[in-house]
Structure 1
């Protein structure tokens, strides 16, 4: 399948990153400003940069790629801005308000806040249509479905201009015939509508979660379809030999059709590739405990990988909507290079979450932005090159940065712009430290047992200060940091999740046989899907998990198990794995209690050939790579000190830089604070360590 190149594209809120890898493993990184109104324009601009650099036309580049992979924030932005399609819901009569009742409480953190407003409903009440039907919890049909109710719903939807429909009936996971027949009627009466069937998208117990997931999927489907169709058509026009792959929030690739049918998997598409990339850059150092931090222009994304395994979230509230399908566990903060500094009503300095984004951008971009941002502070502190970013292609205006900070922060606080800039820098760092603590300390992990991997264009200016505050002693910062998520895409496999409900107790042979039967059924679906996608049997693998709980418990926990058949000889392995997981999560187990299965899941992977990892040569010594000195501020006094600045492009393997120092790579700037040093490894990553005390 391999040709000459592989292209990864990661569309962020401010920049769209492009990684182009050749067969030898050599990787080139390009950045273009994101174009939220027309995301394909940013892709066109990025390909133009590649053409200028390589001397090849966009058509030549694309036609020579074995894979073109796209990670996008289109679905996420549509959900944030409530700009999805006009959606209708067909559900069991009497359950029209389940998505609004939300199990009777608000999200964690706001449960007891009477002033916290209700979530905006993705389906208005008048477009939630109840159908007379009922399936019991044992799968028996109590009330046959009234087809006239479904037809009446379709007539209303056609009258109201509904473009996408979700169907979710109570206990459809045990008896899906009603949903399937309702789907046939919708397809017959609304052939142009996009349809989401709850028992097919999320075939697991919990009616509210399934309905909310189906509604969210339906809401995003028209937006994702329009985007996928445009991107696919654009790449076909350029001569792409293979279909574009899209990155999913479960950490794997999918073809465009899958992203349209399963649009909910696109919600966290961009940052979901960070753990794969983080493990890849940490691999030469045999590190498997990794916290990956990605600070872009708009947000700061954190993922934690323990022992080479990254946590997945299921059945969570994401942007106030319950999502059941697996998603890479990402902690996202409004802390990016474009995050705005402002003074609250108590006279205290705050940073974000509002951002200047790509338009108008920070004040220093000189594109109309007037509010002071993190990038403006970094420029005033002397960290960023005043001649511009991205190799000078993005010029910076230091005067406008200083004036914005003076007007909106320094003068109101009665301090100098330099002290204000350092205050902005410190506060945004503290915000990011708190985010890292949420994914580590609050989940029982000691962050000092992990290495910190830097991703994103803005991270390198902050990461040593963050590590200092966290007590983390080692940072791995690849030269590709600003495009690390795009790099993660090109080394990822195709991945699909298949699920089934299995309300059984692990205490008899009939239960074992039923679980084995269900696994075979869902894995056959996955293997057939991947084979149609061009994968051979030897390229496909499955990983199984089971959601279990003790009898009498309300909530279950997910346990990874092997691919063996469950029988009287192997069931003890499954039971012991559950006890161990329960102890890990809750500090205790009930070994005397019976265990019951709730849901099963199998993750099917289609293995994709990985590009080789290129090595860098010896290069220039630090003294020859020094560009000069720049005044930079490293403490709250606001006093600038003479700081050496190095050209990272000239440095070779083994070069060591002691802080305080600034290392300028083409697409990122590394700030090495006093007491730390950075050594460039042959793998292309800086290993930044703290001086022993």
Structure 2
């Protein structure tokens, strides 16, 4: 029986909509329902109906007893990726209409000069100018002439523009002209969405600010009505408090607060994993974690150091640059739905194409013809044929085998099992490189971290990934398959503020120190107002300070986390961070504070979860199955355990398979698994050998 109040987390993915209910006693109920890509809100309501039916209550009874409903959605991301946003116009300072298309001139692959940049979201005939000019210090060089906006407005009306983005030069320092233009367009074009860059990304960097405000304006008319309608629908069905959305920064925010800033929802789903990592960190007894969430189409990798997740304010989504506060997530195309194929050179490749929700992997029987990682795992015995996810899908061995044979084994002239093994190895290599991207390339030794395997497919590839990068332990939550939905139930409310600073780190008569204190006080005042509107008092509010810094003459900023405003403390934090990233720091080098930032966090009550009683009984397998374990063991007949029967305190040795309700876990040879006090899995990785990437040798001196 559920005990009020409840917390509900709903994560809309490409294949499934995950819903998780945690009641006041700590009981957890997890559900998976097929997503409805054409109407995600319908998928959310369907998941609610499934949960209510399984719990034996009405949807109204479930929602009316809910104190916190947190939603992570891919609507913003998909609107951008699928180019289904609003027809958008852009107003810029005269002479700068082409900055959006010129970009910064950089390429992801410096050797590939032929690959075109993605098309800009605003074509040139809709990028129009305003007669005005601000100086870099915010003083007016050329007064604003609002009559110069009239011709642009007429063109926008003729072209049936739905959204207008305004990005004027140096508006981050003085937004007066930008705000006046925005208000003028609103009066002249009622019903049109208008967004000003200083309200979305008040930072130096003309291209970055313009790109961010354009994306916000492009997706807003599609995303905000969806959120508003879903919020209204849930309220009508009984939800007493408003819907909370997960932002890219890993924190939650109400729909009214984020309605004008939907660009901050671009990483809405994956960022919710922060809440889960914060909860599971206590169970792992480690403050240093790396998480791989392997879902249907991708693998998201996140790093937590000393209990704090890595953050960034610069992300790239499908070639579009965004300056928004975000959890630093590195994503690669390595999921259960990743398609294997043979290229024109006769080499096997994994991805980047994915099977998606429909038709999905061949073994789903929804019409998919091409072999995926899920099909390969089924062929190799790692998955078993039959029903999964409460009957939502049924895995068909014959269809999986046929897909691997026709598209991999026959073109390569190898047998089906060998082809399936090749696909698994390719995907696991991609996962390994993704882990190294957030650890080795950031100056962290992966051997000192616990790897957390999440997502529906994470536990199948976690042991290999941990072994390849040298991690000594792997942690698999029971709820790995609904990892982000669980994280939503443990998510704090958060909003980030930033201010361009551009002053050297020195103090003349205390002037800089006083100015810095005043600036942080101003940001904190804004954050306090936000938290008050969200229902938080001083007792459950906290504020996190940070800096963007660089040596004078250095091109790129370094993000520095430092709660102090004492200039000596700030410099020491910068030097420590710079040394970790680049291997050195300049003891007397002049340092510039390029910007300051502050996050206002409304701390939710801690989530408690009930665990079964301790048991010292020997774990008993339910069956034995022929399985390809890994490249060290090959095929073996190994025990298979029902995860529902494993209790805290029990342990077992690999190789073994554990079937869970939302995932399948493989334990490698020489690995030792223990069920933790919180009823999750902690695996001691055996034989964490050196690998071809040289991770071990790179950090030999640290041992």
TM range, smaller chain:
over 0.9
Q: 2:609 aligns with which of 609, 613, 635?
A: 613
Quote the residue 1:510 is aligned against: 511
Q: State the shift of 1:343 in Å.
A: 0.3
Alpha-carbon contact 2:619-2:651 (below 8 Å) kept: no
Q: Which moved more, 1:145-154 or 1:94-103?
A: 145-154
Q: Distance in 2 between matches of 1:293 and 1:82?
A: 28
Q: Deviations over 1:515-552 (max 9, x none)?
A: 22222222211211211121112222111112222223
Q: Does 1:679 align with 2:674?
A: yes
Name structure 2 gaps, 5 residues minimum. Answer: 689-703
Q: Deviations over 1:154-198 (max 9, x none)?
A: 222122111111111111122211011101101101221222111
Q: How does 1:44-443 map onto structure 2 within 5 Å?
A: 44-103=45-104, 105-107=105-107, 109-443=108-442
Q: Distance in 2 between matches of 1:684 and 1:73?
A: 30
Q: Does 1:584 align with 2:580?
A: yes
Q: Which moved more, 1:394-403 or 1:543-552?
A: 543-552
Name structure 1 gaps, 5 residues minimum. Answer: none
Alpha-carbon contact 2:18-2:485 (below 8 Å) kept: yes
**Helix, strand or coil at the partner of 1:538:** helix
Q: Which moved more, 1:592-601 or 1:217-226?
A: 592-601
Q: Distance in 2 between matches of 1:519 and 1:312?
A: 19
Quote the residue 2:693 is aligned against: none
Relative to structure 1, the CA distance from residue 638 to residue 491 in structure 2 (aligned partners, 3 Å threshold; closer, same or farther) is closer
Quote the residue 1:575 is aligned against: 571
Alpha-carbon contact 1:279-1:290 (below 8 Å) kept: no
**Helix, strand or coil at the partner of 1:139:** coil
**Helix, strand or coil at the partner of 1:602:** strand
CA root-mean-square deviation: 1.9
Quote the residue 2:528 is aligned against: 527
Relative to structure 1, the CA distance from residue 587 to residue 633 in structure 2 (aligned partners, 3 Å threshold; closer, same or farther) is closer
Q: State the shift of 1:315 in Å.
A: 2.9
Quote the residue 2:558 is aligned against: 557
Relative to structure 1, the CA distance from residue 106 to residue 572 in structure 2 (aligned partners, 3 Å threshold; closer, same or farther) is closer
**Helix, strand or coil at the partner of 1:657:** strand
Q: Deviations over 1:367-401 (max 9, x none)?
A: 11111111111111111121221244421111111
Q: State the shift of 1:692 in Å.
A: 6.0
Alpha-carbon contact 1:279-1:308 (below 8 Å) kept: yes
Quote the residue 2:591 is aligned against: 595
**Helix, strand or coil at the partner of 1:395:** strand
Relative to structure 1, the CA distance from residue 638 to residue 576 in structure 2 (aligned partners, 3 Å threshold; closer, same or farther) is closer
Q: Deviations over 1:326-371 (max 9, x none)?
A: 1111011111111111001111111111111110111111111111
Q: Does 1:628 align with 2:617?
A: no
Alpha-carbon contact 1:6-1:67 (below 8 Å) kept: yes
Q: Does 1:494 align with 2:490?
A: no
Q: Deviations over 1:66-125 (max 9, x none)?
A: 01110111111122122211111111011111111112x133x32342211122101111
Q: Deviations over 1:242-267 (max 9, x none)?
A: 00000000110011123321111111
Quote the residue 1:468 is aligned against: 467
**Helix, strand or coil at the partner of 1:270:** helix
Quote the residue 2:29 is aligned against: 28
* TM-score, L = length of structure 2: 0.94
Alpha-carbon contact 1:619-1:650 (below 8 Å) kept: no
Q: Deviations over 1:43-74 (max 9, x none)?
A: 12211221222101111111111011101111
Q: Distance in 1 between matches of 2:519 and 2:222?
A: 33
**Helix, strand or coil at the partner of 1:132:** strand
Relative to structure 1, the CA distance from residue 393 to residue 619 in structure 2 (aligned partners, 3 Å threshold; closer, same or farther) is farther
Q: Deviations over 1:222-256 (max 9, x none)?
A: 12112202311221121110000000001100111
Quote the residue 1:12 is aligned against: 13
Alpha-carbon contact 1:275-1:304 (below 8 Å) kept: no
Q: Does 1:652 align with 2:647?
A: yes
* TM-score, L = length of structure 1: 0.95
Quote the residue 2:548 is aligned against: 547
**Helix, strand or coil at the partner of 1:649:** helix
Q: Distance in 1 between matches of 2:658 and 2:520?
A: 52
Q: Distance in 1 between matches of 2:173 and 2:7?
A: 43
Q: Distance in 1 between matches of 2:295 and 2:192?
A: 36
Q: Distance in 1 between matches of 2:311 and 2:572?
A: 21
Alpha-carbon contact 1:335-1:432 (below 8 Å) kept: yes
**Helix, strand or coil at the partner of 1:265:** helix
Q: State the shift of 1:579 in Å.
A: 2.4
Quote the residue 2:637 is aligned against: 642
Q: Distance in 2 between matches of 1:635 and 1:536?
A: 52
Alpha-carbon contact 2:633-2:669 (below 8 Å) kept: no
Relative to structure 1, the CA distance from residue 75 to residue 683 in structure 2 (aligned partners, 3 Å threshold; closer, same or farther) is same
Q: Which moved more, 1:253-262 or 1:175-184?
A: 253-262
